[in-house]
A = this chain, B = another copy of it.
């Protein structure tokens, strides 16, 4: 048999790794540049801090010692002064007195975005067939990760206050009855302005969720992965304390955050404050992945934090995204407001997303009538079905939509929602 005729024999992991449905959507957006994309979760191009980054980088590279340090190899766990600054930053956000916690900069690991830490934590804890608990719905990129890891997923209902603690307790009771608790390894939550719903886990639920998880693990701890990617984009009210605030002994919660949403995705710097005994496994795994994320970008983020440029930038972002959120909510009211109680949507206090529910029977998927009509009217959305991790015990709702106000200008947001309103009305009126 000639070499050309033989396939490569892919590993079991590779065979589980699938193309994400969202990639088809992204291709569609590229092919239809005139269509308004309320689908993309990118950040607002106009907000990207080019001048600030230019200044900060000129400062680093204009100093021979600092410049060389930034262009040389870094360490696998990340730049120590950055990790120190990150811990201080987290402490300031949550009002921790660090001396009263177990946290040290050694518990902070820098990743290529927070996604890399999400992946590595999963890879460290999940063998194929192990169970991961997520909310319903949940962040879809993580869904792909869970599939690749061979995790079985169980999801927990959310309401306007986020994951429902009683539902989590019920799930654990059922898993316990079935003898499945030993397989539960991770509980995953986007704790602020969740992707895709924009919902924040209510303050009063946080300690409770953690307490439920803590007493559930039998012979092993279950890791709570708190994905706080959108926390600093809170533009209404005070964000509640992180789940990590109820884990000051640093045992149960991996708090993940990123500069992708609040500074620049192009620097791809994320970080995790990790339970002490997971730091070494994470660093060893990262050693095999890449032995360290781009050091230059870490030096840039460090300067952005130290100079105050980061703080000022986040302030500007909050104002801008608040306007855009307002525009989207107003437009939804205007264009989908009169369609009855079965048409409703979330009202995020931060982040980039609104989750819209349509009457049952209105199918939002990419091969359906509504999607086609929406594209015709000039708008792209993310079908809600992409946002449900594959829990074999549940049926995926077909009537939801994720909208993002991240990328578009206010006027385009209004236009896009108007187009969506026309498409929805058309489908409702022509069942």
Contacts and interface: CB of A to CB of B under 8 A. Distances in A.
6 contacts: A4-B249, A8-B221, A58-B58, A119-B290, A268-B296, A296-B296
Interface of A: 1, 3-4, 6-14, 17-20, 42-43, 45-46, 48-51, 53-54, 57-58, 61-62, 64, 67-68, 70-74, 111-113, 115-116, 119, 123-127, 130, 141, 144-145, 148, 182, 185, 214-215, 217-221, 223, 249, 251-252, 260, 264-269, 275, 277-278, 280-281, 284-285, 287-297, 299-300
A17 B285 contact: yes
How many identical chains are in the complex? 2
B268 A294 contact: yes
Contact of A51 (B4, B61, B291): B61
A57 B53 CA distance: 9
Contact of A260 (B73, B214, B252, B285): B73
Given A6-B217, A61-B57, A288-B145, A281 B42 contact: no
Nearest to A300: B296
Contacts of A252: 3
Contacts of A251: 3-4
A264 B71 contact: yes
B115 A290 contact: yes
Interface centre among A71, A127, A141, A293 (most CB of B within 10 A): A71
Contacts of A264: 71-72, 296
Contacts of A280: 19
A43 to B, nearest CB: 7
Contacts of A67: 48, 50, 53-54
